Structure 1
Amino acid sequence: MLTVYTTAPSCDGVSGSRFRRLAVDAARWTEAAGYRGLLVYTDNTLVDPWQVAQLMIEHTESIVPLVAVQPLFRHPFDVARAVSSLGFQYGRQVDLNLVTGGFARHMYELGDTLDHDGRYLRLLEYGRIIGQLLAGRPALTHQGEFYDLKTARLTIPLPGDLTPRTYLSGSSEACIEAARLLGAARLFYPRFIADYAQAPDVLRGNGIRLGIIARESTEQAWRVAHGRFPDDQLGEQLHDLAADAVESAWHRKLSAEAQRSSAPREGYWLYPFRAYKTFCPYLVGSYQEVAQLFGRYLRLGISALILDVPHDEDDLHHAGRALRLAERAHLVS
């Protein structure tokens, strides 16, 4: 069964009141579409994701925020307490996307000197502590390389049915090992489907993040796509500058591919990423075309999909039609 999330909007370039409206709208659209929840991502420049998660919970009935959690921003005890506090106050679940941080400048600003693999070792310890605290142990004593806790416990326990689903973002060997040890799924920004011919099991049991622009006809879909993401040379230059400052393995690989060619490949389109408008590839085409292409990812065993930030409520309606076609065809096959 495929789990679908959308993505919360960014606060970049908008007022606080405008951002609140955008976030609440996206949450309500997601709930109306029947999807599980929304990814709330994080970095040094964005609104605190836990505040966004609480805002969305207060304005919906059932959606589950997928909160990006970075060890430099919160102690693992504080993350566990935030999860249990939201469960206590609202009876609602929160999922976790454990991230190491991607931009070298952001790590420098926070005085983080760990290398790439070291940050995943810290993330592994971080995730284990959060999981142990949320499991309701009477007290946790932990002396590790990065954290030291002495008989720490949550006084507000989390009901078992609200235990978070946990994801790790990344594709490096260090990420693979951390996810394995935590029992977590990984999140990918997927390459074109044919690129998995030599490694068909890479995506099995994991999630991918994609934008989808689907319409009745191919021409309608591409008209929307080009209107939303026109040629942007400044955006391309900004992307290239940012790519040089990123240590993330997936970002470097996808950037290299986008710089070689961002022309569509059977509806798989990297130009929005190339123009620095988003951080994921897009699938563009008629409902049937998108369903056929997405169905190939389903056959590789993906378990979760994170859709890009919805432009409007119709975006989720159109994407949903293509996804349902793909899922029905997958079940029949």
Structure 2
Amino acid sequence: MSVEFIGYVSAREQTEILDLPGPAIDPAYIAATALVHEQGGFDRVLVAAHSTSPDSTLIAQYAASVTSTLGLLIAHRPGFTAPTLAARQLATLDHLSRGRVAVHIITGGNDRELEADGDHLSKVERYQRTSEYLKILRREWAGGTPFDHDGEFYRLRGASSVVLPFQPNGIPVYFGGASEEAIRVAGELADGYALWGEPLANAAELVGKVQAAAQHHHRSLRFSVSFRPIIADTEEEAWERAASIQQQIEKRQAAVLPAQNGIALDHAGPSPTEQTLPTNEGSRRLQAIAAKSARHDDRLWTGVTKATGGRWNSTSLVGTADQVAESLLQYYRLGIETFLIRGFDPLTDAVRYGRDLIPRVRALVEQEDTLRRKSG
């Protein structure tokens, strides 16, 4: 199996511990981050989406314009753009970037945030809409004669497109969400399933559920897991940095008033004790894991998860580059081939990942695959 690394590009420098003053969009920062990831050996970068953030597709287009090989994983929320138009937009960028586009479908787990964009559907209805949306997306990417569609959320007459995906195998569709509704849609329609970093036993359980859902449709998926690696020259220094990061987050949260309407700001929101915790299944899983212990397995750490209430990708692998690489290999053995890694100090951490972590993981995976071939 081939291993894949996905990094993270945002419109400006901002994390749980960094919220620098300046414009909402910093082209120089976007370019610098994209180039650091390309030069560091990352395969793709995720461009996230939020009801208050700059448009993910346009940020991805700018990142594509300053790079030549870096893939783009564009977070996209179904329901806010007509699926036929979204299919053409993504296919257009796929051609402009010469086949570097993938899309990460996010149905959405925060009702109040979605309401900010006028979406008042229930969770069940949102996943029903997502299923219909993806079927239309794939149908338009398939080309051929114009088609009609009569569904619960969309009615189309004579839909077609002159622009199709650049690559013959199309645009990869990644999918997130740990609820039963999400798993059903992923199993039927996604190419890749993304989960937040959980202990090995929990991750294996979730991978098994998604695999079973995919097998029901005679399909197989690629799996991705997300972590916030904290790496230092020694294990002691890495754990010291982890503790410092948690302290910085808690200090920042103590100084931030609760967000209006209970909506957390991206990576800089109020403390989970100051507002209702997120209720999406992925966050609930992280909350339960963090409640049991701050440390799991060899070096999985949930300090940031506890501080943020599990609102997003927040679990870390802590240690030296060799130790973290060994931990990632254990997830690879579960059938997870893609690692989405991003740091708390974005540029500095991305450089270190590219220099110290990614080469080690690729070497370990190559050794693992060689042993499998010899033994099998």
Going from structure 1 to structure 2, the CA distance change for 1:189 and 1:321 (only over 3 Å counts) comes to same
**1:303 CA drift (Å):** 2.3
Alignment of 1:248 with 2:260, yes or no, is no
Q: Distance in 1 between matches of 2:293 and 2:247?
A: 16
Paired residue for 1:184?
191
**1:259 CA drift (Å):** 4.1
Paired residue for 1:130?
137
**1:221 CA drift (Å):** 2.5
Q: Distance in 2 between matches of 1:69 and 1:124?
A: 14
For 2:299, which of 267, 270, 277 is the aligned residue?
A: 267
Going from structure 1 to structure 2, the CA distance change for 1:79 and 1:164 (only over 3 Å counts) comes to same
Q: Distance in 2 between matches of 1:53 and 1:258?
A: 33
1:50-74 CA distance string (max 9 Å, x none): 1111010000001111001102332
**1:203 CA drift (Å):** 7.2
Alignment of 1:217 with 2:234, yes or no, is yes
Paired residue for 1:80?
87
Paired residue for 1:112?
119
> Would you say the 8 A contact 2:78–2:133 is kept in 1?
yes
Stretch of structure 1 that moved more, 6-15 or 87-96: 6-15
Q: Distance in 2 between matches of 1:162 and 1:62?
A: 18
Q: Distance in 1 between matches of 2:126 and 2:165?
A: 28
**1:92 CA drift (Å):** 3.4
Going from structure 1 to structure 2, the CA distance change for 1:212 and 1:45 (only over 3 Å counts) comes to same
- Report the 3-state secondary structure (helix = DSSP H, G, I; strand = E; otherwise coil) of the residue aligned with 2:68: coil
Paired residue for 1:156?
163
- Report the 3-state secondary structure (helix = DSSP H, G, I; strand = E; otherwise coil) of the residue aligned with 2:100: coil
Going from structure 1 to structure 2, the CA distance change for 1:317 and 1:144 (only over 3 Å counts) comes to same
Alignment of 1:324 with 2:362, yes or no, is yes
Superposed, 1:25-174 pairs within 5 Å as 25-161=32-168, 163-174=170-181
Going from structure 1 to structure 2, the CA distance change for 1:196 and 1:160 (only over 3 Å counts) comes to closer
For 1:286, which of 320, 325, 350 is the aligned residue?
A: 320
Paired residue for 1:3?
4
Stretch of structure 1 that moved more, 146-155 or 238-247: 238-247
Alignment of 1:295 with 2:308, yes or no, is no
Q: Distance in 2 between matches of 1:168 and 1:71?
A: 12
1:193-227 CA distance string (max 9 Å, x none): 14457677357641111122233421232344344
Q: Distance in 2 between matches of 1:190 and 1:151?
A: 43
Q: Distance in 2 between matches of 1:288 and 1:231?
A: 26
Q: Distance in 2 between matches of 1:150 and 1:108?
A: 29
**1:10 CA drift (Å):** 5.3
- Report the 3-state secondary structure (helix = DSSP H, G, I; strand = E; otherwise coil) of the residue aligned with 1:146: coil
Stretch of structure 1 that moved more, 22-31 or 253-262: 253-262
> Would you say the 8 A contact 2:231–2:320 is kept in 1?
yes
- Report the 3-state secondary structure (helix = DSSP H, G, I; strand = E; otherwise coil) of the residue aligned with 2:144: coil
Going from structure 1 to structure 2, the CA distance change for 1:36 and 1:243 (only over 3 Å counts) comes to farther
Identity %: 22
Stretch of structure 1 that moved more, 259-268 or 297-306: 259-268
**1:155 CA drift (Å):** 2.3
Q: TM-score, normalised by structure 2?
A: 0.79
- Report the 3-state secondary structure (helix = DSSP H, G, I; strand = E; otherwise coil) of the residue aligned with 1:305: strand
Paired residue for 1:307?
341
1:302-330 CA distance string (max 9 Å, x none): 12111125342224323224423542453
> Would you say the 8 A contact 1:103–1:245 is kept in 2?
no
> Would you say the 8 A contact 2:111–2:120 is kept in 1?
no
Q: TM-score, normalised by structure 1?
A: 0.89
1:162-183 CA distance string (max 9 Å, x none): 7211111011111111012114
Q: Distance in 1 between matches of 2:145 and 2:320?
A: 54
Unaligned runs of 5+ in 1: none
Stretch of structure 1 that moved more, 73-82 or 52-61: 73-82
Aligned CA-pair RMSD:
2.7
Q: Distance in 2 between matches of 1:220 and 1:316?
A: 20
Aligned pairs, number: 333
